[in-house]
A and B are shown apart, each in its own frame.
Chain A
Amino acid sequence: MLDLKIFENRELAQKILQAIRREAERIEREVRLMHVCGTHEDTVTRSGIRSLLPENVKIVSGPGCPVCITPVEDIVRMQEIMRKAREKGDEIILTTFGDMYKIPTPRGSFSDLKGEGYDIRIVYSIYDTYKIARENPDRLVVHFSPGFETTTAPAAGMLETVAGEKLENFKIYSVHRLTPPAVEALVKQGTVFDGLITPGHVSTIIGVKGWEYITSEYGIPQVIAGFEPVDFLIGVLLLLRMIRDGEARIENEYTRAVRYEGNTKAQELIDRFFEVKDAKWRALGVIPASGLELRGEWKDLDIKNIYKVKVPKLPDLEKGCLCGAVLRGMALPTDCPLFGKECTPRHPVGPCMVSYEGTCSIFYKYGALF
């Protein structure tokens, strides 16, 4: 078995850091490296990587939190569906993940709705929802389903089971999103970065292949990296070398999990159930071809087709919240005047402070004030 301890190894980390310092000196200017993954931010912050890098190497965090970017309108629409169903004598059981449950909107969170007596349950995976649906055949059970490619794959797998068993009381509300289009949109919207640390988990599904166009079309060097501190540092080093040489390639550091083609079976499964649509990202706007909706032939699995409700236009963020800039990699949480003051995990103002994958929440938890 592969000994993962090596990826936390201090001596190895220090050696890579020495090489990073040499490269950074040669590059001379400031280099901004972006990652787009909450788990990468966790690695960076938990192991204090920013405190170890040379001053001219900056790590910025992009839209790496699927729960944070779930549109306010979708959360509110799901709430309205619950209300409308109740009016018709239909008590829906809604399931979602613990962080989604607490995401604030101008109309309150799912947690607030539970306070009004609605049946909302926190699950660890969509499989729990399936179990609840089987145990409650006379109730409609809906999973409010956020997530990037990594979470979409098991959701599609579950849908296959549900469709196979003709489990009629199981529905989903898909707010699944695709990662590469978001990176593309950031580039087009003017977020400047010199290289991308590409998320390893997402890449296990879409492969190196799924990211190639970001390099070939936009000239951005990429390294697909794993989630141990040493993985991330190797990613930084490989990017710096490419930047120094003026090259733009895509390299795969996370070879122990990521193949060129990715997981083709998962890709086929996702494609069988979902189609790609333009989709809104909270605080980022509509991103072309970035969302996944259930295909027409599976419309019976989509709760939106069972209860149709109207939702007004609502503001994405509270006044003063910098979540949008944080998600674009234009600001770090410590740049936000609300961070750690009005906005804490106990009293979150914006979505980035709620989710385990939210940059603000990670900064707060580990106190990344260095």
Chain B
Amino acid sequence: MKIRLEHGAGGELMEEFIRDVILKNLTLKSAGGIDLEALDDGATIPFGDKHIVFTIDGHTVKPLFFPGGDIGRLAVSGTVNDLAVMGAKPLALANSMIIEAGFDETSLEKILRSMDETSKEVPVPIITGDTKVVEDRIGMFVITAGIGIAERPVSDAGAQVGDVVLVSGTIGDHGMAIMSYREGIAFESDLRSDVSPVWDVVKTVADAIGWENIHAMKDPTRAGLSNALNEIARKSGVGILVRERDIPIKPEVRAASEMLGISPYDVANEGKVVMVVAREYAEEALESMKKTRRGKDATIIGEAMKEYRGKVILETGIGGKRFMEPPEGDPVPRIC
């Protein structure tokens, strides 16, 4: 078999590939907590009465500068968000950069300043790093690892029947912004990526309702909301019902999605969180989320149910029902 782009596109094919090729060839995969086999957003290591959370993310977005952000902002946000959705306060980041020979220094500095600003927003220090220069025509890749600390880690497998599903804001912004930019489609109000760290959103909700009442979390990056919800449903063994009319989507994202023939549910978000909370705390979670700057468009989109375990059901705009299947892979390549 030859590795194809689809093998790295999130979604079903990628998961199959990770299981059949990557996991199969590794032996030591656990440090006593949530491990590699769990394929969660990060791994945990028990540490006294707390848990260290550890994660890593490679960033290969093309173009390096896009509407609403750049690879620097993305690299910090991506890793911070993987920690955040595990319920971990980000402690520190490591930054590895692989740069093409001939890369413009001004661009590099711009990317570094963007990383710096994003890390100050969290705040999280970048305490170690590595730099390589290569002759391959790659532009620049940024790999960031992050370490965090959680009182009570939140996995993507803990949703329970009756729980309520929230999203912290509009869906599909990042994927559609990148795709439209590449396709040269101009819209009246320009599409912008939502790339940003969401730790403050997660922390605000946890402070309001307690970590124990957040039963599952994911950041809906590659392959989007449909993939995130399907993973939660499958790993938690519950059905999830979501209402299409309640899923917040910007008009310009919808327009681009119709023009490109790509569902906004299937493309990446880089500044959002999908949260599954205990029903009795749902309103409180929503209210607290809405008080944060990045969670002001938060909505309740659905709930976990005992029917259709492992599946996501979409109640359509006109009131019909269908399964919301995860895409085979994110339809847009090199988005993160």
Q: Which stretch of B29-37, B61-69, B123-131, B322-330 is in the interface?
A: B322-330
- Set of chain B residues within 8 Å of A52, measured between Cβ atoms: 318-320
A369 to B312, CA, bound (A): 12
Cβ < 8 Å to A, chain B residues 277-326:
311, 314-325
For residue B16, which residue of chain A has the nearest CB?
A346
Task: Name the distance in Å between A348's Cβ and chain B's nearest Cβ.
Answer: 12
Contact B319 A13 (CB under 8 A): yes
Contact B316 A47 (CB under 8 A): yes
- Set of chain B residues within 8 Å of A10, measured between Cβ atoms: 245, 317-319
Query: Chain B: how many interface residues by the 8 Å CB criterion?
Result: 18
For residue A368, which residue of chain B has the nearest CB?
B322
Question: Which of B12, B315, B319 is packed against the most chain A CB atoms within 10 Å?
Answer: B319
A14 to B318, CA, bound (A): 7
- Set of chain A residues within 8 Å of B317, measured between Cβ atoms: 8, 10, 47, 229
Contact B325 A367 (CB under 8 A): yes
Confirm or deny: B108 has a beta carbon within 8 angstroms of a beta carbon on chain A: no
Number of A-B contacts (CB under 8 A): 63
Contact A13 B318 (CB under 8 A): yes
Confirm or deny: B138 has a beta carbon within 8 angstroms of a beta carbon on chain A: no
- Set of chain B residues within 8 Å of A229, measured between Cβ atoms: 316-318, 320
Confirm or deny: B185 has a beta carbon within 8 angstroms of a beta carbon on chain A: no
- Set of chain A residues within 8 Å of B318, measured between Cβ atoms: 8-10, 13-14, 47-49, 52, 229-230, 233
- Set of chain A residues within 8 Å of B322, measured between Cβ atoms: 45-48, 51, 366-368, 370
Other-chain contact of A48, B12, B311, B320 (Cβ < 8 Å): B320
Confirm or deny: A241 has a beta carbon within 8 angstroms of a beta carbon on chain B: no
For residue A367, which residue of chain B has the nearest CB?
B323
Contact B319 A14 (CB under 8 A): yes
A8 to B254, CA, bound (A): 13
Task: Name the distance in Å between A310's Cβ and chain B's nearest Cβ.
Answer: 33
For residue B327, which residue of chain A has the nearest CB?
A365
Confirm or deny: A345 has a beta carbon within 8 angstroms of a beta carbon on chain B: yes
Task: Name the distance in Å between B214's Cβ and chain A's nearest Cβ.
Answer: 28
A368 to B13, CA, bound (A): 21
Other-chain contact of B325, A9, A47, A366 (Cβ < 8 Å): A366
- Set of chain B residues within 8 Å of A46, measured between Cβ atoms: 316, 322
A365 to B326, CA, bound (A): 8
Confirm or deny: B261 has a beta carbon within 8 angstroms of a beta carbon on chain A: yes
Confirm or deny: A130 has a beta carbon within 8 angstroms of a beta carbon on chain B: no
A–B complex contacts, Cβ < 8 Å, 11 sampled: A8-B317, A10-B319, A13-B318, A14-B318, A45-B322, A46-B322, A51-B322, A52-B320, A229-B316, A364-B325, A367-B324
Closest 10 pairs (CB-CB, A-B): A48-B320, A367-B323, A13-B318, A48-B322, A367-B325, A47-B316, A48-B316, A52-B320, A51-B321, A229-B318
